[in-house]
Amino acid sequence: MLSQETGRPISGLIDEALEGLKARVRPRSVYETANDDATGHSAKEIIQRIREALEIGQHGLARQLAVEGAKQYAGHDELKAFGRVLAPPTGGMTMPVAPEVRAARKANKMWIKTHWQAYRGNWVALQAGHLLHASPSFDDVAEHVGDLYGPNLFLTKIA
């Protein structure tokens, strides 16, 4: 189908418009070099690319750049920090959760599933499926609950 104004195919005009929008929405430097690695770039350039990638949600690219940059510039403190923070998680051991903790979490989840509409916009404090206090103010809930680290205590804001 052709555009009445330009006589060009509409699909081509749409593609052109989309490319223009994409160019305005995302930093080109990160996307144009997304498959590139940190090799051949200064530490300052790598740090800038990491920050750009994080800003636009390209966490995998940021991780790749940080890890490679930290290897390439082993003495650079900021790159070492990025490399450490963005490094893939290590295969650490997980601790098994006690049956009573699992039961309390399940009860809290069921309470929220049942009552979320009545408490929308409020902070709620639950303990093993029982409402301790609800308020639009976190401070109010914290004041009523007291010990925020109590056993099986669950605090959340219901959106």
pLDDT tens column, 63-84: 889 888 888 888 888 888 888 8
Question: How big is the chain by its Cα radius of gyration, in Å?
Answer: 25
**What pLDDT does 89 receive?**
75
**What pLDDT does 1 receive?**
56
Regions of the chain short of the pLDDT cut 70: 1-14, 17-39, 91-94
Task: Using the CB atoms, write b or e for 117-131: b if 16+ within 10 Å.
Answer: eebeebbbbbbbbee
**What pLDDT does 24 receive?**
56
**What pLDDT does 144 receive?**
92
Q: What pTM does this model have?
A: 0.42
